[in-house]
Amino acid sequence: MKQKTLLFGALGMLVVLILFMVKDLFLSSPEPGNNPWKYDLETMKQADTMKPAYTMVKAIPSGLQGLVAIATGPGDRIYTTGAGGAEIYDSACRLLLRFDFEDTAYALTVDSTGNLWMSMGDHVEVWNKTGKKLQTLKSAGRGSLITSLALTGSSLLIADAGLKVVYHYDHMGNMINRIGEKDPVRKVPGFVIPGPWFDLAVSPDGSLWIANPGRHELEQYRFDGQRLLSWGKPGIGIPEFCGCCNPSHFTFLPDGSFVTSEKGIERIKVYNPRGKFSAVVALPGDFDEGTRGLDLATDSRGRILVVDPVRKQIRIFVKRSTTSNN
């Protein structure tokens, strides 16, 4: 008797479950109201509760119309460019020089003599530290938009977000080779660049790293175009890169650690030289909503300099333990 009760109880439960499935499939009507797929950035921003290991020690207001790019040069001088001009500050953040030009500079790097190499959209111009144009390199072609530059002893590396490729030039502007074009034979996946954010940098040990924002990765290449390594994962978690295409910018600390910045959820983070997350520099609460284009630079003291185009400031972050030294 008891066994029968157990059996029929179990069978009854099974039948109820089957009926539930049938009802849910055929008889339920759509739920009224809210968007069940709403992508709520706000809650995600609030979820970033990790305490930053860095703190902001200075915010230098820039006199430039639109602030776009930043670099550091000899003597830890700070160089910035943007719409219609460039500025040079000394390491104590005192303005040394401001000069004007007509175009907008989209990218900037500084050579060992303090000359500024700037992207004017589709071509590169070299200006000296007194504000005189020295050289104009050939245009990369129609549709080109140069968003990042880096110099080594004999090479100029150019990241072209428009044509989705990196050019390897000599200092005279002669092209040596192209890097990162899709090539299944060499296992190069190609760059996925949905927006005007495409950065590259040369690490302190001289290796070339290029952001592949659509893949949420940083990729290491040899100068001949051979792809070597990559790291980075998509995701909303702090160690990952969020959104459709990040990181938007990156640079290196003197010890070879990566500093990255993201848009969408504005975050600046540090990863060790092997690409393992190590610290938070700044979180969405540190920026105005919708801030994009957080270009980065570092100096010999390990300070992180960030361009904030919305507040029109150069913001300087230092590690909390070293705050007193700055």
Q: State yes or no: residue 95 binds other proteins (CB under 8 A).
A: no
Count residues near other proteins (CB under 8 A): 47
Q: Closest approach of Cβ 266 to other proteins, in Å? A: 11
Query: In this chain, which stretch among 37-45, 63-71, 90-98, 128-136 interacts with other proteins, using CB under 8 A?
Result: 37-45
The yes or no reply on residue 14 touching other proteins (CB under 8 A) is yes
Q: Is 191 exposed, middle or buried (0-12, 13-18, 19+ CB in 10 A)?
A: buried
Q: Tell which one of 114, 121, 173, 189 touches other proteins (CB under 8 A).
A: 189
DSSP character at residue 241: B
Residues 110 and 319: their CA atoms lie apart, in Å, by 25
> What are phi and psi for residue 321, nearest 5 degrees?
-65, -20
Which range touches other proteins (CB under 8 A), out of 19-27, 124-132, 172-180, 217-225?
19-27
Assigned token pair, 101: 């030009």
**Cα(192)–Cα(226) distance, integer angstroms:** 18
Q: Which is nearer to other proteins, 84 or 190 (CB)?
A: 190
Q: Which is nearer to other proteins, 36 or 153 (CB)?
A: 36
Cβ neighbours of residue 319 under 8 Å, at least 6 residues apart?
Answer: 53, 54, 279, 302
What separation in angstroms does the CA of 258 have from each of 142, 206, 319?
32, 14, 14
Residue among 60, 145, 245, 314 that touches other proteins (CB under 8 A): 245
List CB contacts of 236: < 8 A, sequence separation 6 or more. 44, 47, 242, 265
Q: Which of 73, 214, 284, 293 binds other proteins (CB under 8 A)?
A: 214
Which contiguous run of DSSP H or E holds residue 4? helix 2-26
7 binds other proteins (CB under 8 A): yes
* Interface with other proteins, residue 236, by CB under 8 A: yes
Nearest distance from residue 282's CB to other proteins, in Å?
Answer: 18
Could you say whether residue 239 binds other proteins (CB under 8 A)? no
Residue from the set 235, 254, 256, 285 that interacts with other proteins by CB under 8 A: 235
Q: Out of 74, 75, 143, 196, which residue is the one contacting other proteins (CB under 8 A)?
A: 196
- SS3 state of residue 322: helix
Residues 283-322 that bind other proteins (CB under 8 A): 290
269 binds other proteins, rule: CB under 8 A:
no
The DSSP result for 180-192, as a single string, is: ---BTTTTB----
Using CA atoms, how far apart are residues 298 and 155, in angstroms rounded to an integer? 21
Q: Report d(CA 10, CA 156) in Å as an integer.
A: 74
Residue 163 and residue 255: Cα distance in Å, rounded? 32
Enter the DSSP assignment of 22: H
**Residue among 77 and 215 whose Cβ is closer to other proteins:** 215
A 10 A CB-CB count for 207 gives 17
276 binds other proteins (CB under 8 A): no
| Residues of this chain, 105-164, that bind other proteins according to CB under 8 A | none
Site string for other proteins, 39-68 (x = CB under 8 A): x-x---------------------------
Residues that bind other proteins (CB under 8 A): 3, 6-7, 9-11, 13-14, 16-18, 20-21, 24-26, 29-37, 39, 41, 189, 192-196, 214-216, 233-236, 242-245, 264-265, 290
